[in-house]
Amino acid sequence: ETGVTQTPRHLVMGMTNKKSLKCEQHLGHNAMYWYKQSAKKPLELMFVYSLEERVENNSVPSRFSPECPNSSHLFLHLHTLQPEDSALYLCASSQVSDNTGELFFGEGSRLTVL
């Protein structure tokens, strides 16, 4: 138990569906992240929210839309995805004032796009 909870753990969707991934952190952190993890590839940072404001968007396609309503919750809204978007989507949190920048990850949402 890392203090970061992601739902759903598994999701299968068609290319025309709309779905959302949810992340909740119980650590009192003030920064949250979405990462994409594909097999045998480095983690790809998608979005960063610090103090509930988006501070980074690494050229992610618009079919991925993040939402951070408060410092404890983060969503990733998905629509008209492509099969190459199939991956493990990891949420993480950290405390901005922590000099080490240690990240606390959730267990991920395994997404399959048919």
Partner 1 sequence: GQNIDQPTEMTATEGAIVQINCTYQTSGFNGLFWYQQHAGEAPTFLSYNVLDGLEEKGRFSSFLSRSKGYSYLLLKELQMKDSASYLCAVMDSNYQLIWGAGTKLIIKP
Site of interaction with partner 1 (CB under 8 A): 2, 4, 40-43, 45, 90, 100-108
Bridge partners, residue 73, by sequence? 24, 70
Closest C-alpha to 108, from 71, 83, 81, 76: 76
CB of 103 to partner 1, least distance (A): 7
CB of 44 to partner 1, least distance (A): 8
Structure token pair of residue 26: 């119980």
Pick 21 or 103: Cβ nearer partner 1:
103
CB of 30 to partner 1, least distance (A): 15
Closest C-alpha to 32, from 87, 89, 103, 99: 103
Pick 48 or 113: Cβ nearer partner 1:
48
Pick 16 or 97: Cβ nearer partner 1:
97
